[in-house]
A and B are shown apart, each in its own frame.
Chain A
Amino acid sequence: RKEVEQDPGPFNVPEGATVAFNCTYSNSASQSFFWYRQDCRKEPKLLMSVYSSGNEDGRFTAQLNRASQYISLLIRDSKLSDSATYLCVVGTTDSWGKLQFGAGTQVVVTP
């Protein structure tokens, strides 16, 4: 079983709509959580960190559920430029900063 699992998608989303997707992680010692965005054939770029109380950055909202060990990302008012692969990323205190990446969820925003 992979340490971080994501629905690969693709999630086809009309422009202006809302899309949400989750990822689950298996290591209960996980302490840091992130969403990274990766465009085709480019490097991952940090979208947002995920905090215990949940947090919002513009149209993006991230939630963390430690009890069920999942993280969610919600994108409101989707833009064409939101089309990308979203990587769920988890770090643990026992791994000295090593990050575990999910395989990514592909989002395609259509006009």
Chain B
Amino acid sequence: DTGVSQDPRHKITKRGQNVTFRCDPISEHNRLYWYRQTLGQGPEFLTYFQNEAQLEKSRLLSDRFSAERPKGSFSTLEIQRTEQGDSAMYLCASSFRLAYEYQETQYFGPGTRLLVL
């Protein structure tokens, strides 16, 4: 399978616990994005990486959220001290884009569905 993969697919946790999600992008893709989607809404941008550099973070990404892409390949998204409002689908997407291009296609992984009790 050469698509974007995410692990785990489902996570149930208690409020206050820390959780970590992993995303493996399509291998030749240099960009990796994290989105959050709640019921009835479209995905909301959280952050993105170009290779290993984290280039932009949304205001939605509070200090409890941290993302890494240490070697420019897979990425992790950690949520510390989870709250019930963090319950959502966390989607990862990847793309290949050169600096001078503005058009790119993002390919999404299957998502990690988080439920905070």
Given A43-B110, A98-B48, A98-B56, does the pair A4, B42 have CB atoms closer than 8 Å? yes
List residues of chain B with CB within 8 A of the CB of A13: none
Q: How large is the interface on A (under 10, 10 to 19, 20 to 34, 35 or more residues)?
A: 20 to 34
Please tell me if A91 contacts chain B, counting CB pairs below 8 Å: yes
Given A96-B48, A96-B55, A101-B43, does the pair A43, B104 have CB atoms closer than 8 Å? no
Min CB distance B20 to A, Å, is: 20
Please tell me if B45 contacts chain A, counting CB pairs below 8 Å: yes
A44 to B95, CA, bound (A): 14
List residues of chain A with CB within 8 A of the CB of B42: 4, 87, 89, 101-104
Given A31-B102, A32-B102, does the pair A97, B95 have CB atoms closer than 8 Å? yes
Q: Which of B41, B102, B110 has the most CB of A within 10 A?
A: B102
Min CB distance A90 to B, Å, is: 11
Tell me which residues from 26 to 42 in chain B have a Cβ below 8 Å from any Cβ of chain A: 31, 33, 35, 40-42
In order of increasing CB-CB distance, the 5 nearest A-B pairs are A101-B42, A43-B108, A98-B45, A101-B43, A103-B42
